[in-house]
Structure 1
Amino acid sequence: MTIIANRIDGRLIHGQVANLWTTKLGISRIMVIDDEVAENPIEKSGLKLATPAGVKLSVLPVAKAAENILAGKYDSQRLLIVARKPDRFLRLLEAGVALDSLNVGNMSQTPETHSITRSINVVDQDIQVFHQLAEKGVKLTAQMVPNDPVEDFMKLLK
């Protein structure tokens, strides 16, 4: 199985993910990992509509995603994993899925968040999870679109 990229994006699948990232990386399957979204038929329908033609879509709870990845279900595919929050990736890692890197994209602003960049807003729990991911060897980067420069996310977090 080839996990080509992992991305945090509060919007999940939208123009940047659907067009720019999938094209640039030659993605054959987008996997959205989120327990709540996986149980929401309306949100799943919207994600299906946003997925580019010729790209497969999986919308799974984190535990099922880990199970499928570890069982080799996607071994012949080029996989982009997308989630809204970093804790989903920490759970994947703790389930035994190897994650080399994680691109932190858009995390929307709410009254509870504080800004890291113009488009990345976090709560204290997110910061703790980012540190745990980094301690486990995951390289954290910030890059909105493929043509933007890659930034070291942990340096931005400080």
Structure 2
Amino acid sequence: MAKKLAVRVDDRLIHGQVVTQWVKVFDAQKIVVIDNAVAKDKMQKNILKFAAPSDLKVNIYSVDKAVEVWNKNKFGPYNVFVLFRDVKQIKECQEKGLVFEEVSIGQMAIINDRKQVYKQLGLDQSEAQTLLDLEKSGMKLYFQMQPTDKKESLTILKKTFPDLK
């Protein structure tokens, strides 16, 4: 069972800020990436593993595999830093029984139908609704770009998406 667990959404997954700040602040011994597309792509998996320091264990799972491993050993006896590329896969994990208590929402590129919600964070209406639904289910969610930043509540979503339920 994971000694400590931190969960974050950052569409860049394993990158400089995660490695130099988040992993260190959390004292992570293992990174778990949960992403259905990356789990199927050998090249992306290799790039992400190469981006992590050699002393960190890195596992990359599809949602289904992550749920299976969680049910088996809760990601092992480590301080585990879990990364998602998007919020929809967190919802998919929840629907399959893998529920996280707390999730920090970081960068998601402001592309396509996404609107800027907070700093370098873009969401479309559906993603914003997914976050609110997760929060209503009891998950603690907040926006935070860097570990030194103040945690911002989801209430700022209403400024960009006033029709959210």
What TM-score, normalized to structure 1? 0.94
**In structure 2, distance between residues paired with 1:75 and 1:14:** 23
Counterpart position of 2:5: 4
- Asked whether the equivalents of residues 118 and 143 of structure 2 are also in contact (C-alpha less than 8 Å), the reply is no
CA distance in 1 between partners of 2:76 and 2:85 (Å)? 24
Structure-2 residue corresponding to 1:117 = 118
How many pairs were matched up?
Answer: 157
**In the TM superposition, what are the counterparts of 1:55-74 in structure 2 within 5 Å?**
55-72=56-73, 74=75
Where 1:5 maps in the other structure, the secondary structure is strand
Identity percentage of aligned residues: 29
Tell me, yes or no, if structure 1 residue 155 matches structure 2 residue 147. no
Q: How far apart, in 1, do the equivalents of 2:54 and 2:146 lie?
A: 20
- Cα displacement string for residues 26-54 of structure 1 (whole angstroms, at most 9, x for unaligned residues): 11111111111111111111101111121
Structure 2 counterpart of 1:106 = 107
Quick check: 2:14–2:48 contact (8 Å CA) kept in 1? Answer: yes
Deviation at 1:73, TM superposition (A): 5.2
Amino acid at match of 2:87: P
Report the Cα distance in structure 2 between the residues aligned to 1:128 and 1:142, rounded to whole angstroms: 15
The Cα of 1:79 is off from its aligned counterpart by 1.0
Q: For 1:1-158, what aligned pairs fall within 5 Å after superposition? A: 1-2=1-2, 3-72=4-73, 74-152=75-153, 154-158=154-158
Deviations 1:66-107 (A, max 9, x none): 110111152311111111111111111222223111100000
Structure 1 unmatched ranges of 5 or more? none
TM-score by length of 2: 0.90
Distance 1:74 1:8 in 2: 18
Runs of 4+ aligned residues of structure 1 deviating over 2 Å after TM superposition are none
Instruction: Answer yes or no: is the 8 Å Cα contact 2:69–2:75 preserved in 1.
Output: yes
Which ranges of structure 2 fall in alignment gaps of 5 or more residues?
A: 159-165
Give the SS at the match of 2:118: coil
For 1:156, give the aligned amino acid.
I
2:129 & 2:74 partners in 1: Cα distance? 31
Report SS of the residue matched to 2:73.
coil
**Cα offsets for 1:113-142 (capped at 9, x unmatched):** 111012110112201211111111111111
